Amino acid sequence: MKLRKREEKRRATELAMWRYNESISQREQDEAWDILQRLKRKQRYEDLRAKRCQDEEIWTTIQHLKRKDRYEDLCVKRRQDYARSHAYQIETLTRNLEYHLDLRRSLLKDPKNRFLTWLCGGSSCDTSPSITGPTTSEEFSSLAKT
């Protein structure tokens, strides 16, 4: 009987030890599971944050390119407007010079012909007689006399 009690006591002790070890391993498993879940959550958060940063960079780059395109379009438009305005001024002045011969004579008496240089927009001037008037010194002198 003592043997039986000892055996039962030993089995109860083993069972208690096994249960204790099981509960410890279960606790360890639960802790490991919690750590794993926390790491997964952290990784998801970092992935979302990285994606948001990447999306923000892409959006910023697109906005920058749009602004650059608008600026370039504006520069082109300004150049076109200036060229159009300059062409209109030349056309108007040429028309006025054709109809007001006295004004034309006085302007063309300038020996350096600064007016025609300005009218053509610089030193490389197209000197066709229909637009700029006389080009040779003989034509200038004949106009100045009349």
Q: Is the pTM of this model over 0.75?
A: no
The per-residue pLDDT string of the chain (146 residues; one tens digit each, 9 = 90 and over) reads 777 888 888 888 888 888 877 777 778 888 888 898 999 999 999 999 999 999 999 999 999 999 999 999 999 999 999 999 988 888 888 777 777 777 666 666 665 666 666 666 655 444 444 444 544 555 545 554 54
Q: Identify whether the C-beta of residue 81 lies closer than 8 Å to the C-beta of residue 107.
A: no
Find out whether 108 and 143 touch, Cβ atoms under 8 Å.
yes
Q: Domain coordinates of the chain in residue numbers?
A: 1-118
Residue 133 contacts residue 104 (beta carbons within 8 Å): yes
Chain position carrying tokens 């200038």? 140
Runs of H (alpha helix) within the chain: 2-99, 101-108, 114-119, 129-132, 137-145
Q: Which two tokens stand for residue 62?
A: 């697109």
